[in-house]
Structure 1
């Protein structure tokens, strides 16, 4: 992400309960595993799903693995741009 100008060094994982009282417009899951195993998010939000490859499962040399992470990052970035174009006035 740093290569793409985004600093996520201080990001953390959060508990779903922290978001229970937020009125989201959209909930997007980004892998089949999350869609199948994560708790149901009770909300009136429109729920969208797109399965991206999991780069953690990448095999090969260090550079080949890094390239797979870059490819998935770029897929997610393109999806986010398309989502905004389609859904944000």
Structure 2
């Protein structure tokens, strides 16, 4: 089994969307989780835009990083600079990727404008998750 951990500051948007896509798109032998360096709650707009593509993340919860899970991972992916900079030290066996995605929760303007930003970030995450299944992250 391969273990992947998606990390963001508050585990509210980007990491939650990545977890949702990974559960649907990665092979069945992948164990998938997400967490944050803080807990901000699940962003309802993230739930909305994921539902638009047929993925229900409404039951996911905002969680703090679990160091035991982190240290047992094959791959840790940070989705913002804050999470990358504040992520606890991991063993050398844990591979790390950084996806510098904008925070859709920081979007301003009308709800339609905000949702457009959430959709852009969602679509970028989907494309990145699709590339994960093709690579072998168990070779250290």
Q: TM-score, normalised by structure 2?
A: 0.55
1:8 equivalent to 2:57? Answer: yes
Q: 1:23 Cα deviation (Å)?
A: 2.1
Name the CA distance, whole Å, in 1 between partners of 2:72 and 2:86.
Answer: 22
Q: 1:81 Cα deviation (Å)?
A: 0.5
What is the count of residue pairs matched by the alignment? 86
Q: 1:32 Cα deviation (Å)?
A: 0.8
Larger Rg: 1
Name the CA distance, whole Å, in 2 between partners of 1:45 and 1:54.
Answer: 25
Q: 1:3 Cα deviation (Å)?
A: 0.7
Q: Which moved more, 1:29-38 or 1:71-80?
A: 29-38
Considering fraction of residues, name the structure with more helix.
1
Q: TM-score, normalised by structure 1?
A: 0.82
Q: 1:2 Cα deviation (Å)?
A: 0.7
**Gapped regions of structure 2 (runs ≥ 5):** 1-49
- Once superposed, what is the RMSD of the aligned Cα atoms? 1.8
Aligned partner of residue 66 in structure 1, secondary structure: helix
